Amino acid sequence: MKEVVLIKVSGEDKPGVTASITGILAQYGVNILDIGQAEIHDNLSLGILAEMPGTAESAAVLKDVLFRSHELGMSVRFTPVSTEKYDSWVAAQGKPRHIITLLARKLTAEHIARVTEIVASHELNIDNISRLSGRIPLEDDERQGPNKASVEFSVRGLVDQAAMRAEFLQISSDLGVDIAMQADSPFRRNRRLVAFDMDSTLIEAEVIDELAIEAGVGDEVIAITESAMRGEIDFNESFQRRVALLKGLDESVLEQVAARLPITEGAERLVSTLKKLGYKTAILSGGFQYFGRFLQNKLGIDYVHANELEIVDGKVTGNVTGTIVNGERKAFLLEEIAKNEGISLEQTIAVGDGANDLPMLSKAGLGIAFRAKPLVRQNAEQAISTLGLDGVLYLLGIRDRDDI
C-alpha cells in the first residue's frame, strides 16, 4: 500500500484555499481517500486523507503544499497514517449512524458538555457537529422574535437507544433544553407528510375549554379535559361528557372563539416551509371540525379530520355526529392519508401533546411530543418543549439560513 498522509489546513477563511491545495495534489496524481471541511466564525479547517504516489515523490508533494499554505496565510500539519489504522478506519464504515439534535433558546457550554459526555459514555464517535440555527446576537432583539438555537451531532457506533433517550430526557429536565436522537437513514431526509393535533399544538388553547367558558361551564369542562389529557379518563367518555355541557350554546359563539384563537409560536413558518418543500399536511384532532377548517384556511393545511359538533336551529345540541376522533382514530387516519398519497409510514411525522396523540405518534416514522404532558414526553420518541413548532424543522436537518 502506498503512503497515506492526513493533511490539515487551517486559518482565516478565504476563497480558493481548497482549490489551491487540491490543485497541487492533482499535479502529482494523489488519490483522495477522505475529505472534510468546516468553517467557524470565518476560520477554516480543511482535512484531506491523501494516498501519496510514492515515497520519493511524497516529500515534493508535501513541500509544495507547505509553501502554498504559507502563501495563503494558512497553517498546515502532516500526519502519517499507518496501514493498520487506515484498515481499521475502513472497517468501521458499516457502523450505524445517528443524528442527535440539541434545541434551546441559547446554547451554553454545559449543554454541549452534558450531551457529548453521554455520547462518549456510550463509546460513540462524533463525526460532525453543525449549527442549524442562525447567528445569535449578543443582545436580545425583540424585533427578531424569541431566540432559538440548535446544533446537530452526527454520531457513529452501536446505540442503546432506550438508555440514551432516558439520559437525554434527564438532561432536558435538568437544563430546560430538548434533545432528539434519530437513525441517520434515507427516511429522515425524505419525510413527506406531517399530521398535527390541533388544540395546544397548532393553537395555544383547548377550544372546548374556550367554548365552555362562553357557556358558563368552564371549570367543569377544564377539569374533565385535564384528566383526559393525563390519560386518567377514556377519551370517548370524557369527550361526550364535555360536549354535553355545551348544550344550548349559540352558534355565533364559534365564530367569535375562532377569531381569537392564538396560533402557536412557529406554526405559520413551519407549515409554510413544509408546503414549499412539497410536504402534505393534516390536522387530526379530537376537537371540532369547525375550528379545524378555520385553521385549514388560515395556514393552508391539506387535510382536516375532527369531530362534527351538531347544531340545530342555531344552537349546539350537546352531541357530535359521525365517528369520534380519538387516539385510535387519529392513528388510523394517519395511515389512510399516507396510503392515499402513496407515502410510507416511515415518511410520516406526527405532532401532538396529549395522551390521545400517542397512538399516532408511535405509528409515524417520526413522532414528536410538543409541549406535552410528562406521560406523553416519556412515551414519545422525540419531544420539543423549549422552542416553537418550527423547531420541528431542525429535526429534519433544515437550517435557518436555508430561508425557504
The CATH fold assigned to 96-183 is: Alpha-Beta Plaits (3.30.70)
Residue with cell 387519529: 330
Q: Which residue spans within 228-314 are E strands per DSSP?
A: 280-288, 303-312
Name the residue ranges covered by the structural domains of the chain: 4-91, 96-183, 193-402
- Residue 104: helix, strand or coil by DSSP? strand
Phi, psi at 261, each rounded to 5°? -65, 125
37 pLDDT exceeds 70? yes
62 pLDDT exceeds 80? yes
Closest CA to 134 of 144, 120, 124, 126: 144
CATH 3.40.50.1000 fits 193-402, yes or no: yes
Which one of 3.30.70.260, 3.90.230.10, 3.20.20.80, 3.40.309.10 gives the CATH number of domain 4-91?
3.30.70.260
pLDDT value of position 229: 67
State mean pLDDT over 344-364: 95
Residue with cell 336551529: 313
pLDDT value of position 140: 65
Phi, psi at 102, each rounded to 5°? -105, 125
Query: Could you tell me the CA-to-CA distances from 131 to 20, 148, 150, 154, 277 in Å, in that order?
Result: 27, 11, 6, 12, 21
State mean pLDDT over 351-375: 94
CA distance 13 to 29: 26
Q: For residue range 231-259, what is the model confidence (pLDDT) as tens digits? A: 788 888 888 999 999 999 999 999 999 99
HSE-CB at 61 with a 13 A cutoff on CA atoms is: 25
Active site residues: 197, 199
pLDDT value of position 144: 63
Q: Which three cell numbers stand for residue 10?
A: 487551517
State mean pLDDT over 122-127: 92
Instruction: Identify the band that residue 188 occupies on the pLDDT scale cut at 50, 70 and 90.
Output: confident
Q: What is the pTM of this model?
A: 0.86
Q: Residue 61: which residues within 8 A CB-CB, separation 6 or more?
A: 24, 25, 28, 30, 50, 52, 53
CA distance 388 to 272: 14
Instruction: Tell me the helices (H) and strands (E) count for the chain, helix number first.
Output: 15, 15
Fold match between domain 96-183 and domain 193-402? no
